[in-house]
Amino acid sequence: MNAALPKNPFSTRYTRPEVVPFLWAVVPPVAGDTGSGATQSGFALSSRFDPGSPMLGTQGQVESSQRLVARLRMLRQGLIVGPHGSGKTTLIHSLLPHLKEAFEIDGCSQVHQLQLTMPLESDLWARFKHRRYARDAVNEVLAGLPGGGLLVVDGIEQLCHRDQKKLIQKTQRQNIFLLATSHQPVCKMGILYQTAVDVMLINSLVNGLLKDASPQVVEIVAAELEKRDLARLTNVRDLWFELYDIVQDYLLVDPVKLRDVGDGCSVIGCDGAQDARDPCC
């Protein structure tokens, strides 16, 4: 008979960029920061995450997204910059509803998104093939966009410098807006936002994921985070993977925690092996 584990709050189904909200920080206006736009609350949207700042509420999150989209329309080519796992893709997904509304032509949204992911192989030939694939994929998507549309490239650094420049030139000639993410600045692209990670942001995200978790899981995660130097952590995605393993080990150790199969559960067999029907774990 199969049994099931209580859900692991750090499973991919709960931590993937499509479902985790991007948290905007409250940032005081900075003198001389031309990229900021004052809000009714007296705060501004900075082009950079301000470590240690409190997170905005729901309405503030929406307003910040809308202002960033407005800045993109003004710049025409905007870049979201930040290290691995700092929220660039999450920000893109949070912006998508506002982007689709802002780039609507004749009643139809003209936003085409492309996510470029690095290949598992790291040899020179694999990297060469991947860059060629990335170039062809971007050109194919670009060819289907009308003037005034928006091309979103998540991972533009995976194009070689020459192809990056060609893409920028093509979008300019074809009157197409360009939004991209990268780990570092890209030539001639204005930086819309720079993502970063700090302790307050990590705690806010963890608290959201643990909202429905058992007290035992909350205690285990809190103890684990207490051991870590969160001030030096830059990759939240890796942290989710590590916390998933820690929580899953705890759930597997004590058979008393097993219960009947239900929604949101990880299915295991009587030998403790995880069933392939749980694709997210």
Give the whole-angstrom CA distance, residue 3 versus residue 259.
6
Please identify, among 164, 194, 224, the residue that sits at the C-terminal boundary of a domain. 194
pLDDT by 10-residue block (mean), the chain, 281 residues = 69 92 64 37 42 65 89 94 93 94 86 85 81 92 92 94 94 95 90 90 92 92 94 93 94 58 39 40 39
Do 121 and 206 lie in one domain? The reply is no
DSSP 169-203: HHHHHTT-EEEEEESS--TT-EEEEE----HHHHH
Please identify, among 194, 209, 225, the residue that sits at the C-terminal boundary of a domain. 194
CA-based torsion, 142, 144, 148, 154: positive or negative: negative
Backbone phi and psi for residue 111, each to the nearest 5 degrees, phi listed first: -120, 115
Do 152 and 76 lie in one domain? The reply is yes
The pLDDT, as a whole number, for residue 21 is 86
Q: What is the DSSP letter of 271?
A: T
Do 140 and 243 lie in one domain? The reply is no
The pLDDT, as a whole number, for residue 6 is 75
Q: Is residue 241, in this structure, part of any structural domain at all?
A: yes
177-182 and 150-154: which strand pairing?
Answer: parallel
Give the whole-angstrom CA distance, residue 163 versus residue 159.
6
The pLDDT, as a whole number, for residue 58 is 72
pTM for this model (two decimals): 0.79
pLDDT digits (tens, 9 = 90+) for 167-202: 999 999 999 999 999 999 998 898 999 998 988 889
Tokens of 68: 């960033």
Cα end-to-end span (Å), the chain: 20
Is residue 67 helix, strand or coil? helix
Is residue 11 helix, strand or coil? coil
pLDDT digits (tens, 9 = 90+) for 103-143: 988 778 899 999 988 777 777 888 888 889 999 999 999 99
- The DSSP bridge partners found for residue 78 are 179, 190
Give the whole-angstrom CA distance, residue 78 versus residue 255.
51
The pLDDT, as a whole number, for residue 260 is 37
The pLDDT, as a whole number, for residue 54 is 63
Question: Residue 148: which of 186, 181, 108, 187 has the closest Cα?
Answer: 108
Q: Is residue 276, in this structure, part of any structural domain at all?
A: no
Tell me the residue range of the domain where 119 lies: 57-194
